[in-house]
Amino acid sequence: MDTMEIMPEVTADKTNTDFLPINGTDYLELFVGNALQTAHYFQNAFGFQPLAMAGLETGLTDRESYVVVQDKIRLVLTSPLHGGTSIGAHLDRHGDGVQAIALWVDDATSAYQETMKRGAQSFLEPVTTQDDAGTVVKSGIRTYGDTVHLFIERKNYSGVFLPGFVAWKPLHVPTVTGLKYIDHIVGNVGWNEMNKWVKFYENVMGFTTLVSFDDNDISTDYTALMSKVMSNGNGRIKFPINEPAKGKRKSQVEEYLDFYGGPGVQHIAVATDHIVETVRTLRDRGVEFLQVPASYYEDLSARVGEIDEEMANLRELGILVDRDDEGYLLQIFTKPIMPRPTLFFEIIQRKGARSFGKGNFKALFEAIEREQMLRGTL
């Protein structure tokens, strides 16, 4: 395996203090056609737990939201309650997809002011909401496409989710599947736009480039793309940004852009400590994964060396392995979970490695191309 270009990580002794301290991902909000049934899917297939809801019952007139949670991962699923809403327009343009990546901060007003000062486009001026459980300050800026970053300050709040939401307690609660936290969130941007968005994350949000790949790293006979991984100061937030590159046929990023109607979130990588058990459970519960050919496993031991997992289990489930200087990682990708071939999930287990599975790109893209071929979009 060739070496990867890893830029130095920003550490605490960096002279500039972090102007945008982020504690972690607060939640992801998806605009979907049917929030209740999508919540049901995430509960039954992925093992998310019901947490909160807001809608007509809580005084909303335009939308209904269900919040599901698994360990540190929170998803908000929102649908419009009548025609002519901005949510409906978003759905018409993009289909079901991620509208907001909400970041957990200690000071949402400062996060807004500091990013606006550095050239952000406003989405939401700081607004304080409250209920019996305390106050939350929320603000937001725009990022690629119609996607936004919200800043959520909840240090003075002890409620179930956010003011305006009530606990959601359906009778049926499926068991968890071992998903723990969001490892990274990947955005697809348009032709020649990657560096624009890299500059946005650097200049406006104070992120640094952790890793970069070009089309020499990531290409097959047909597909090519370029990617840079942006990370915040403490490394808790990692946003790889993909741009299509010219290949013989249509790049998977280009296919995404066509179907999503522009840039947007391509995949959400969620971490587990027991990938074999997690993937087996997800598969039993109906989650469909991309499969690599059996030949992938023939030279795997030679490529990644000694690993803790049984090769037979990995082969059976189609779990991929990659090694870097610091350790190894195991990963697998779902098929797109929406009608349009856009958003999908990655399940990842890190065993020391902090990279993103570059050694798997070729096998993976060939698997994606087989799917594109079936869709007739290659």
285 to 42, 174, 223, 288: CA distances (angstroms):
10, 10, 31, 9
Region of 41-49, 56-64, 335-343, 345-353 interacting with Fe ion (CB under 5 A): 345-353
Q: Is 269 in the site for Fe ion (CB under 5 A)?
A: yes
Binding-site string for Fe ion from residue 276 to residue 305, where x marks contact by CB under 5 A and - marks none: ------------------------------
Strands 63-70 and 73-80, sheet pairing: antiparallel
Indicate the residue among 137 and 332 with the shorter CB distance to Fe ion.
332
| Nearest CA-CA partner of 44 in 18, 70, 79 | 70
Indicate the residue among 270 and 300 with the shorter CB distance to Fe ion.
270
With a CB cutoff of 8 Å and minimum separation 6, the contacts of 310 are: 276
How many of the other CB atoms lie within 10 Å of CB of 59?
8
Cβ of residue 37: shortest distance to Fe ion, in angstroms? 27
Cβ of residue 46: shortest distance to Fe ion, in angstroms? 17
Buried b / exposed e over 350-370, threshold 16 CB at 10 Å, is bbebbbbbbbbbbbbbbbbbe
Quick check: 103 and 123 in contact, CB under 8 A? no
CA–CA separation, 262 and 193 (whole Å): 12
Cβ of residue 331: shortest distance to Fe ion, in angstroms? 7
Specify the DSSP class assigned to residue 292. Answer: -
Count of residues in contact with Fe ion, rule CB under 5 A: 2
Cβ of residue 264: shortest distance to Fe ion, in angstroms? 15
Cβ of residue 320: shortest distance to Fe ion, in angstroms? 11
Cβ of residue 269: shortest distance to Fe ion, in angstroms? 4
Cβ of residue 53: shortest distance to Fe ion, in angstroms? 30
Q: Is 193 in the site for Fe ion (CB under 5 A)?
A: no
Indicate the residue among 324 and 346 with the shorter CB distance to Fe ion.
346
Sites for Fe ion among residues 33-52 (CB under 5 A):
none
Indicate the residue among 20 and 182 with the shorter CB distance to Fe ion.
182
Region of 119-127, 218-226, 249-257, 267-275 interacting with Fe ion (CB under 5 A): 267-275
Quick check: 100 and 31 in contact, CB under 8 A? no
Indicate the residue among 102 and 185 with the shorter CB distance to Fe ion.
185
- Stated as kind and residue range, the H or E segment containing 361 is helix 361-375
Q: Tell me if residue 356 falls in helix, strand or coil.
A: coil
CA–CA separation, 333 and 320 (whole Å): 9
Region of 7-15, 139-147, 189-197, 339-347 interacting with Fe ion (CB under 5 A): 339-347
Indicate the residue among 87 and 257 with the shorter CB distance to Fe ion.
257
Q: Is 346 in the site for Fe ion (CB under 5 A)?
A: yes
User: CA 86, 90, 91, 93 torsion: positive or negative?
Assistant: positive
Q: Is 183 in the site for Fe ion (CB under 5 A)?
A: no
| Positions that interact with Fe ion (CB under 5 A) | 269, 346
